[in-house]
Amino acid sequence: MQVYLVGGAVRDHLLGHPYHEKDYVVVGATPEQLLSEGYQPVGKDFPVFLHPKTKEEYALARTERKSGMGYHGFQFFTDTTVKLEEDLIRRDLTINAMAMDDSGKVYDPYGGQKDLDHKILRHVSDAFTEDPLRVLRVARFAARYASYGFRIADETLQLMKDIAQSGELNALTPERVWKETSRALMEDHADLYFQTLKDCDALKILFPEIDALFGVPQRPEYHPEIDCGIHTLMALKQACVANYPLEVRFAVLVHDLGKALTPVDELPRHILHEERGIQPVTEISDRLKIPTYLKNLALIVCKEHLKCHQVKNLKPGTLWRLLQRLDVLRRPEKVLAFVQACECDAKGRLGLEDRPYPQAQYVLDAMEIVRNIRAQDLPDHIQGAEIGEMLIQYRIEALAKFKERHAE
């Protein structure tokens, strides 16, 4: 029985990129052997085991054959006769098709180290087209390793286009699409994930609401980049630069979906795009089955982001109602996420990336003002239903004074 470290851990070890997960392949063993040594079985489609101490995954070397649509449409074969090279050739990219033994010796039958040196994402074999999930994985790798200068090989990008045109992407489950996408959103160059999907014709299949933004013009005095799709990716890039959390990045991604629904005779203006965006944001959130808290933030950013840009001009009562809709008293973290997303929208514009966004601090200061006015601060004679009404009055009055101070 021979054990090898495989896949991402080997790749990142050679690249000097931080990694945490380790996967192993076991050659020349049977399930019974691993069970006898205390390994715990976890694989459903093929034998995968957890190490009794480290709980890291150990998979028996296997070959596979396409037997149906989608990434589940495979038959796997494991046997003591399966060689390491046979296991590695079924992997997606050459840089993921390397193995390392416990002495540190690297096994690289398909040129992974050469592609690693030349910063190329290249498929291992034509079997790449058998698994549609690989389109998303390669796009995610493009986002992850962009800072190292990696690019997708032309022939690999063509295979990704072939998959998109084959209809296989439709076999991917929403859960799997979101799992890959949520991971990609947290990469330093998440915008390149979506750009790559567009380049291989997959964006219009998996994210038609986002794809529809490309080619839609905006007023150049507000958006020098003009194109709505380009603006969306520029705004997402700002969220990555600021290292904002997932909920902010998703909200930024979908904040302008309503602009794709603007009537042609109204372009390049986008009146009411905030309201028009509610439906597509809801549809993409429901289709991908994303967590409710992500959907809720995305919806309010879509609907209210212009108010954040104009917040210093809002009347105190209008500002209070905005803060109420953001659940300011119970969820101050939602207010913070909201202003972060709005800041990315403001800075995601050609030549305006470094423009200050004082509106963010203005909203956060207003939040602290209203949160610091509590029932115990009211006169003793205020009782019952009057308490809620008086609290609102006090908060609006405090916001009025706050607005006056900023006007001075």
Has residue 20 got a pLDDT over 90? Answer: no
Q: Is 122 annotated as a binding residue?
A: no
**91 labelled ligand-binding:** yes
Cα gap 279→257, rounded to integer Å: 9
| Mean pLDDT (whole number) for 389-395 | 88
Which residues, including other chains, have CB under 8 Å from residue 367's CB and lie 6 or more apart?
323, 328, 332, 335
Q: What secondary structure does DSSP assign to 110-154, as a single string? A: T-HHHHHHTTEE-BSSGGGGG-THHHHHHHHHHHHTGGGT-EE-H
| Statement: residue 282 has pLDDT above 90 | yes
Percent of the chain with pLDDT over 90: 82
Residue 342 banded pLDDT, cuts 50, 70, 90: very high
∠ CA 379-383-389, nearest 5°, is: 85
Q: Over the stretch 229-275, which tens digit does the pLDDT of each residue have? A: 999 999 999 999 999 999 999 999 999 999 999 999 999 999 999 99
* CA-to-CA separations, 278 to 256, 285, 391, in angstroms, rounded: 10, 11, 31
Question: What are the DSSP E strand ranges found in 261-403?
Answer: none
Mean pLDDT (the chain) is 93
Q: Where do the domains of the chain lie, and which CATH numbers do they carry?
A: 1-130 (3.30.460.10)
pLDDT score, position 69: 54
The response to whether 65 counts as a known ligand-binding position is: no
63-72, 319-328, 373-382, 390-399: segment of lowest average pLDDT: 63-72
**Annotated binding residue at 134?**
no
Please, which residues bridge with residue 50 across strands?
Answer: 40, 57
Q: Is 275 labeled as ligand-binding?
A: no
Cα separation, 311 vs 328, in Å, equals: 15
Q: Residue by residue, what is the 3-state secondary structure of 202-267?
A: CHHHHCHHHHCCCCCECCCCCCCCCEHHHHHHHHHHHHHHCCCCHHHHHHHHHCCHHHHHCCHHHC
380 labelled ligand-binding: no
pLDDT for 47: 81
Task: Of 37-46, 170-179, 389-398, give the lowest mean pLDDT range.
Answer: 37-46
- The model's pTM: 0.91
Q: What is the pLDDT of residue 408?
A: 66
pLDDT digits (tens, 9 = 90+) for 109-141: 999 999 999 999 999 999 899 899 999 999 999
Residue 66: pLDDT band with limits 50, 70, 90: low
**Helices then strands, each counted (H, E), the chain:** 19, 11
Q: Is 137 annotated as a binding residue?
A: yes
Each residue of 50-69: b (16+ CB within 10 Å) or e?
A: bbeeeeebbbbbbebeeeee
Compute the distance between CA of residue 174 and CA of residue 184 in angstroms, rounded to an integer: 15
pLDDT at 295: 98
Quick check: 68 pLDDT over 60? no
Q: Which residue, 228, 203, 6, is CA-closest to 110?
A: 6
